[in-house]
Structure 1
């Protein structure tokens, strides 16, 4: 019943919110965000706990302000995402401003293939729609299997409608298809700041241990593709901002595992830069740091239940 209710709520979002006038949708998102923040459920408490690591000198009052702003940013993401299928091409094309875009355009022009790796910042779906519309470049991504299957199908159809080729995370074939697309000179986009699998790479993230996917670094090594971190953020304007960071180079020496570790740490450092600048736009409502995943070190031992509907990839 819970899965069916979740599917119905998402379906209502895509069918109803996209029909609302934009000012109404904005107010609705902010109202929902503020109500959720006041209830201080598990997701809000986890968001605040994560912000405490990002801004370690923040007072309790500052953390409360950040978590409220974070929930408003999170609901802005959802309101925009529900409405994206109804946006005009012009609206999408003008929906994002990008700093250092030349890293991406030069990489695409080289035909060596490009991997864009992003954290859960601002609206990664809008960024993807901007790439397919403004740059007229299709790309391939990975979608985790969601329950029920009808909800997974909704997300696949939604992202495919924005011009993305969506592969299922499970089944063992995603890595091979991604590698083939890159060897053909294509573009791959992956949300890559959270991996709870045993194959994730341990990194230092804001001074503590976390685990991030090995997939982006492994793909770059195996295919010779360019690996580019990207960070996103909102400001007071309706236009989202983005920065394409300098390429993550493959180390000249070391084993495959050692190279993967170095490259993933470089990704983590780039993500940390963007998150530190705009912590309220980091939508991490789940546990991330290894100490928080250790039940012996975590006061709240109940598992996270917040659905993660973003496309992540890990080591195959």
Structure 2
């Protein structure tokens, strides 16, 4: 384990151990101070966030992009402060903190008994939405997690999410697709953050007028199992509430090859993601390269 990996593991461990014990106003203030400090330093993540937001808000002035990136960093740190504290939140607290519109698309899909694939972008706090699903709605679900370095940090994330009621599978290794398909055939719920391709072999979509790659997994799972494919977006409504919307089902095209069907279905997800991101760009936590034009083909996404 490198020194940087040991430091990352130690910092995240400190966050999980201490932030949840702080009074809530203190934790919120700490998050804002960390966000503002990172924003002022203009590091790689902040610059990448601004470059991404420039595509989301075309024609925005440098001053407007700076405002959005500052709000974006505060939103991102709010995600972390909330996530560190989520294990101590009661079901009642979670319930009053989340308001999801058009939830019937999800509940109707599960009632049909064929399973539901729910795809989301990196908006607001997807972990909070997951806790809301498990503790408030009583809907267990399965998801995947990116392999992080060091392994101990990945283990922390898995243990954390499993403590919140989620079943977590590793993104790599090739076995996740089969396990997800089995959960769906049993009528279960699979939730996937799906606005960034981690394999460099995703589906090309049009995203805010440029080409980007997004994972094929959600569309392939729906085709393979007959599960309903849904998208959802989230945003912070105010200082205490996160809102969201579930979009209508994405149907499987009646004709075409599997690749053609996958392309059309993934584009439908990208369009829903773009709708939510355009409405709430400050809550999109995309501090990495996403669009094809920004990627190094030899190295893949960064």
Superposed counterparts of 1:1-316, under 5 Å: 1-294=3-296, 304=302
Distance in 1 between residues matched to 2:107 and 2:161, nearest whole Å: 22
Contact residue 18 and residue 86 of structure 1 kept, 8 A: yes
SS in 2 for 1:193: coil
Distance in 2 between residues matched to 1:20 and 1:164, nearest whole Å: 25
Contact residue 121 and residue 275 of structure 1 kept, 8 A: yes
Distance in 2 between residues matched to 1:140 and 1:236, nearest whole Å: 29
Superposed CA offset, 1:219-241 (max 9, x none)? 00000000110000002241100
Give the gaps of 5 or more residues in structure 1.
Answer: 305-316
Contact residue 196 and residue 211 of structure 1 kept, 8 A: no
Distance in 2 between residues matched to 1:198 and 1:238, nearest whole Å: 37
- Give me the CA root mean square deviation: 1.4
Superposed CA offset, 1:127-158 (max 9, x none)? 00000011101000001111111101100000
* Residue correspondences, number: 299
Give the gaps of 5 or more residues in structure 2.
Answer: none
TM-score w.r.t. length of structure 1: 0.93
Distance in 1 between residues matched to 2:70 and 2:78, nearest whole Å: 12
Residue 295 of structure 1 deviates from its aligned partner by 7.9
Residue 294 of structure 1 deviates from its aligned partner by 4.2
SS in 2 for 1:94: helix
Distance in 2 between residues matched to 1:204 and 1:221, nearest whole Å: 21
Distance in 1 between residues matched to 2:227 and 2:215, nearest whole Å: 17
Residue 109 of structure 1 deviates from its aligned partner by 1.1
SS in 2 for 1:204: strand
Distance in 2 between residues matched to 1:93 and 1:156, nearest whole Å: 23
